[in-house]
Structure 1
Amino acid sequence: MSAKLRPIREADIPHLETGASTPEGSGDFQWFGFRTFHQLRERVAADGCLGPDGGAFVVECAGAVAGWVTWVKHSWGPEATSWNWTIGIILFPEFRGRGIGTAVHKELVEYLFAHTRVERIQASTDLSNVAERRALEKAGFRQEGILRRAQWRMGKWHDQVLYAVVREARE
């Protein structure tokens, strides 16, 4: 099953909300409790979730909303000179385990390198999220380290694995 990324439309929001409003929909590694989609609605209306400090795309498979990807600006020093993108993904259960995550990561990286001046794109995932770790590695990301007790989820702290891809490594 092939996937493609596209800008989020207002009509997509109910699908995203339904898909991410339960632990089963978000998945064990993305469930942080119930949340509102009010800000997403405002952002889609204001700029289509495509701004200079980050954005989001819908993941579409065979005409269905399969999830979404995001990117946000992160700095390792002065923002003017040391920023990179941090990306994230949520795929709904029926689209997991089919290689879609790998394909989507590759497509998002290509898009961000082609349309922004970023030098580094990073992602983190739970240490025990083997599927996402594999998808990142297949998409060209390299493991850089372990962020100990970096994420609070489901009543306890979780270690995260930091991955990144840099522009020079892809040329």
Structure 2
Amino acid sequence: MSDVWRELPLFGRPRVDESGVQPGWDAELAAVREAASAALAQHPDAAAADAFDAALPAPRVRRDGTPRPTKLAELDRAVYAYLDLCARIGATAAVPPRAAGAVALGRAASAPTEIRAVIAGHSLRATDADWSFGRGPVLEDTAAALLDFLGGRSLRAPRPPSR
């Protein structure tokens, strides 16, 4: 009876070294910045670059001067600023996969009733990234299109995979 806990889903995984795991979304925010730089290198536009920079959250620091970890809400702002940038300069958005998945999951969890009604009972899958979440029949689209829908910026809902 003492080993019953091993059968529970959260405790049955083998132990691994997680000392390298960093708190926050700093790496994903950096990836979004890199994606924006790459888009601007292909389609230079100083005004669009300034608008992107202005939309990003200011770095936060603790009282001792060390940086605070990036919050999901800050990553969310950066991802949507990147989508705005791409739309403005006519670039195809290539949202970094981990950033897109994290923001999409956060948006799905807090979406308005109309959006939750569409995605309820389904799995959402990005066709251009290696992430999905949810349970049930799959609805899919590109990561950028899923983010636009979940953010209330598009009425184009994800669809079942074509056969």
Do both proteins adopt the same fold according to a TM-score greater than 0.5, normalized to the shorter chain? Answer: no
TM-score by length of 2: 0.32
Give the structure with the higher percent helix. 2
Larger Rg over CA atoms: 2
Give the structure with the higher percent strand. 1
